[in-house]
Amino acid sequence: MLHIVIGVILIFIFFLLNILGLMQMLPLYITSPLLFISILYTISRFNHRKTFKGF
């Protein structure tokens, strides 16, 4: 659960950075991959929590 909360916080922070990138205050080629990686991390952690780990 902690990983999902961290992921949501990272998405929010990198979304704000991406908005600054769209306003050409930061390079967009840096902020867009960071936002993508944070979304990918959150989705992978959300999908991984109910997996079968074996006996």
| Mean pLDDT score, 29-49 | 91
pLDDT of residue 33: 95
Contact at 8 Å (CB) between 50 and 23?
no
Burial class (CB in 10 A: 0-12, 13-18, 19+), 27: exposed
**pLDDT more than 90, % of the chain:** 71
Q: pTM of the entire structure?
A: 0.81
